Structure 1
Amino acid sequence: MRAVDIMTKSVITANPEMTVRIAAGTMVFAGISGMPVIDPDGKLVGMVTEGDLMRREEIGTGKRQSWWLESLASTSDLANMYVKENATTVKDVMSTDVVTITEECTVAEIAELLEARRIKRVPVVRDGKLVGVVSRANLIRALVTVVPKRPASTEGDDAGLREAILLAMTGHRWALPPENVIVKDATAHLWATARSDEEQRAIRVAAECVPGVKEVVMHAGPLGGALGDVGRSS
């Protein structure tokens, strides 16, 4: 799945000369937390977000720093802070260091980008022109549209299910050794003693994601004896 498959194409935008008040009102009434800023030629020149409008003198949210912190700040930082708190147009408060993607960018790449940059949305451009926006919400909607994998026909193939579970854990440091995985009647019995809660959760999820596994049982005791002699835990 790519950006073109999930992006919002009808994008609400701002222009550099728009007032801060109108930009804030647009975001409030549209129910969005940020807008791309487009110049008269249609070029993407920035982004204005809730974060850019958080610190404002007129509503009393400007930063108040102690004299010694202010003395450590550079003159440029102080000037930039003043502009953010007092400027009246979008061009002076918008963020200009805007990361963009193309329509061919995969959803995996988009998710990594949003996480790494700690941003909520990313513009999609073609030949320098805005064609859409992908937000965290778009990624969540994409998850809803994914059709669950249809379980393979594994009835009576406990050995195949066991191999699939081991394969799902391959390459992970928390993976169980093969002898700690037993499948009987499509129920996976896993021994993950002396593992952290996080590791046990990962082991359980790996088994649950294998098509055809009907149930996953985490055993707390040592491996050995009949399955019925070992305590079950969820």
Structure 2
Amino acid sequence: MNTPRTNVAHGRTLTARDLMQRDPVTVPGDTPLLVVQHMMVAAEIDGVPIVDADGRVCGIVARADLLRAIDQACDQDVDAGPHGPEPGDGDLIGYLGALTAADVAAPDVTWTTPETPASEVARLMRERGLHRVLVGTAPRLAGILTSFDLLRLAEARS
């Protein structure tokens, strides 16, 4: 069994709480998908938790979900017309504009507690091929821990 690394400066094990991003960007499920995409670009993030009116997480929209929505629109033979998108049924922008965050969100999210050692979170993410893990006690979000947060830690230690 691997022993979690300790924070040399403080003599304790680094946890998800130490590395997580607090107060991550979240959106309600009825947020238009194109607004979610714009928010992700503006905030330079690749995933947004979806929350209900009480602040409980009910899914997450990742960059892959946005790409999947575009791919499905193309599979449905949405016609952009010979001169680009045209108003009305059949235009790609109109189709995507009608989708909401809840329409494309992955309902299954992976959680970890704030006290979980960072090494355990890293192992979980690697084994499951995850780019982000929600931190808190489901469905209450305390923060989000991404692969970039773990890379920053590795960079700081090298």
The answer, yes or no, to whether TM exceeds 0.5 is yes
Corresponding residue number in structure 1 for 2:121: 110
Cα distance change of structure 1 residues 117 and 127 upon mapping to structure 2, 3 Å threshold: closer
8 Å contact from structure 2 (residues 59, 106) kept in 1: yes
8 Å contact from structure 1 (residues 7, 134) kept in 2: yes
What code does the residue aligned with 1:94 have?
Answer: A
Aligned partner of 1:4 among 10, 17, 27: 17
Q: Distance in 2 between matches of 1:21 and 1:7?
A: 27
Aligned partner of 1:98 among 99, 103, 109: 109
Q: Distance in 2 between matches of 1:5 and 1:41?
A: 26
What code does the residue aligned with 2:42 have?
Answer: F
8 Å contact from structure 1 (residues 124, 133) kept in 2: yes
- SS in structure 2 at match of 1:62: helix
Cα distance change of structure 1 residues 89 and 134 upon mapping to structure 2, 3 Å threshold: same
Aligned partner of 2:43 among 20, 30, 43: 30
What code does the residue aligned with 1:97 have?
Answer: D
- SS in structure 1 at match of 2:124: helix
Corresponding residue number in structure 1 for 2:75: 63
Q: Distance in 2 between matches of 1:63 and 1:106?
A: 43
What code does the residue aligned with 1:26 have?
Answer: M
Q: Distance in 2 between matches of 1:112 and 1:63?
A: 36
Structure 1 ranges of 4+ moved more than 6 A = none
8 Å contact from structure 1 (residues 17, 91) kept in 2: yes
Corresponding residue number in structure 2 for 1:152: none
Corresponding residue number in structure 2 for 1:50: 63
Cα distance change of structure 1 residues 22 and 112 upon mapping to structure 2, 3 Å threshold: same
Instruction: Kindly report which structure 2 residues correspond to 1:107-146, keeping only aligned pairs within 5 A, or say none.
Output: 107-126=118-137, 128-146=139-157
Is the strand fraction higher in 1 or 2? 2
Q: CA deviation at 1:38?
A: 1.1
- SS in structure 2 at match of 1:114: helix
8 Å contact from structure 1 (residues 55, 63) kept in 2: no
Cα distance change of structure 1 residues 97 and 144 upon mapping to structure 2, 3 Å threshold: same
- SS in structure 1 at match of 2:74: coil
8 Å contact from structure 1 (residues 54, 61) kept in 2: no
- Structure 2 spans left out of the alignment, 5+ residues: 1-13, 77-94
Residue-by-residue CA offset, 1:69-96 (whole Å, 9 max, x unaligned) = xxxxxxxxxxxxxxxx866111111000
TM superposition score normalised by structure 1:
0.49
